[in-house]
Structure 1
């Protein structure tokens, strides 16, 4: 009887031990995963055994697989991302200018281990790039007067791009594009610019009106020339004989009219009206 109880106790102990082991395995096993567009830095966080540290990399989307080790993953976004910095900077003429500067940076494929161990994991921009980028922008902008900034924005962006690429040349980071956002001047300058534009527009209108007036004057001159020329031609052709012929024709038309009641008194030769010349 004692031997039977001993076997039962041994069986129960084995079941309990197996349950504890299964519970431990269930809570200890991990399966790190990485989403698309990311790379994962897989590392071990040992509890009872294992050496810890870097275990491998994942290129998403993928899973590392189940393991009894306490494996975890740091996922780093490898896609191009836009980082925006806002500035209030004194230009070369000591005028305070505000604007945004945008930089697009991606991480080179397969570089997740270097990013995590050398550049601060997913905080790499704040730790390694941000302040240097801002310094490059300030240096480039302060080379110009405030009125030149909008016209020189492409040159400024190229200057910053060149310096930032050189700075990140031996790193996992790839500069895709640098762009200057809207440039905002102080209110007093904005008002002055608006007044200048309004004055330029008014000047343009005046120039247009002047051109129209000049054209109108030219038209009137040409019309006067035409009238003078016509009068010159008419005066040259109005001879006494021509006027007498016109008078006779007018009398004939009136005589043929059924309502004609005018009486003509001949005063010239053969009843022809006299026409006195002016020359």
Structure 2
């Protein structure tokens, strides 16, 4: 009697075990995916069986597909991204200069496996690029005095770009552009520059005033020359005979007037009237 009842119970347990196994298997299936602009590094984390390790790569947007293996994925952004580094560096004249440096770096397509296995995966910039980049910037900046940095900004950027491109040449990484950000000088330098600019402005104003005064003096000299020349001409033409001629003409005109009385007084050679003494 008891043997006949044990068969159905065993069957139930077997079915339940198979069901649990299938449920566990389906629940543990994975379907890794990669978004646009990324590449995915698919790898297996074995449970009780499987070799583990690299399984393949994806170019987003895409899915790897359902798998009973415990597949996981590391997605790497392959697009150009800007990495900003802040600096406080002693220039050649021992002044602390504060500024930013921006590097635009992308990852070459199809290199996600190398990025993950050889360069730190998602942390490739911090582990492989950052410190070298900062070293190149420091070396380039410290060659110049603080006052030269703004004028030599392009030269510094080109030098750092060339060195970083050479360093990354045989790697998955590609330098797209490097830009020097704002350069901030210490307060003492900023105030000195302001004073210098103010002095230059004042000097420019004084020079302008000097030129105006010089032109005014030249005008007055020319005016004086004109007056002197006119006076010279007048003096050369006012002879004694000319003056006497003009005086006679004036007297003739006065004599023609009906309301005019003319009195002639004899004068001496000195032009004074002759006075006869009384006896």
Q: Same-fold call, TM > 0.5? A: yes
Q: Which of residues 256, 260, 264 is equivalent to 2:260? A: 264
Partners of 1:243 and 1:43 in 2: CA distance: 130
Shift of 1:226: 5.2
User: Relative to 1, partners in 2 of residues 1:169 and 1:243: Cα closer, same or farther, differing over 3 Å?
Assistant: farther
Give matches, 1:245-260, under 5 Å: none
User: Relative to 1, partners in 2 of residues 1:4 and 1:204: Cα closer, same or farther, differing over 3 Å?
Assistant: farther
2:76 alignment counterpart:
76
Higher-Rg structure is: 2
2:92 alignment counterpart:
92
Moved more, 242-251 or 198-207: 242-251
User: Relative to 1, partners in 2 of residues 1:2 and 1:98: Cα closer, same or farther, differing over 3 Å?
Assistant: same
Q: Deviations over 1:79-135 (max 9, x none)?
A: 111111111111112222111111111111111000000000010011011111111
Q: Deviations over 1:190-228 (max 9, x none)?
A: 111110111011111111222222233334444455556
Matched, 1:152 2:152: yes
Matched, 1:192 2:192: yes
Q: Is the 8 A contact 2:86 2:101 kept in 1?
A: yes
Q: Deviations over 1:153-177 (max 9, x none)?
A: 1111111111111111110000111
Matched, 1:29 2:25: no
Task: Kindly tell me the number of residue pairs found equivalent between the two proteins.
Answer: 261
Shift of 1:2: 8.0
Unaligned runs of 5+ in 2: 265-270, 272-279
1:272 alignment counterpart:
none
Unaligned runs of 5+ in 1: 256-261, 269-275
Partners of 1:235 and 1:249 in 2: CA distance: 25
**TM-score, scaled relative to structure 2:** 0.79
Shift of 1:9: 4.2
User: Relative to 1, partners in 2 of residues 1:86 and 1:245: Cα closer, same or farther, differing over 3 Å?
Assistant: farther
User: Relative to 1, partners in 2 of residues 1:54 and 1:245: Cα closer, same or farther, differing over 3 Å?
Assistant: farther
User: Relative to 1, partners in 2 of residues 1:223 and 1:66: Cα closer, same or farther, differing over 3 Å?
Assistant: farther
1:128 alignment counterpart:
128
Q: Deviations over 1:25-61 (max 9, x none)?
A: 3321111111111111111112233221111111111
**TM-score, scaled relative to structure 1:** 0.79
Partners of 2:105 and 2:255 in 1: CA distance: 103
Give matches, 1:117-266, under 5 Å: 117-225=117-225, 263-265=259-261
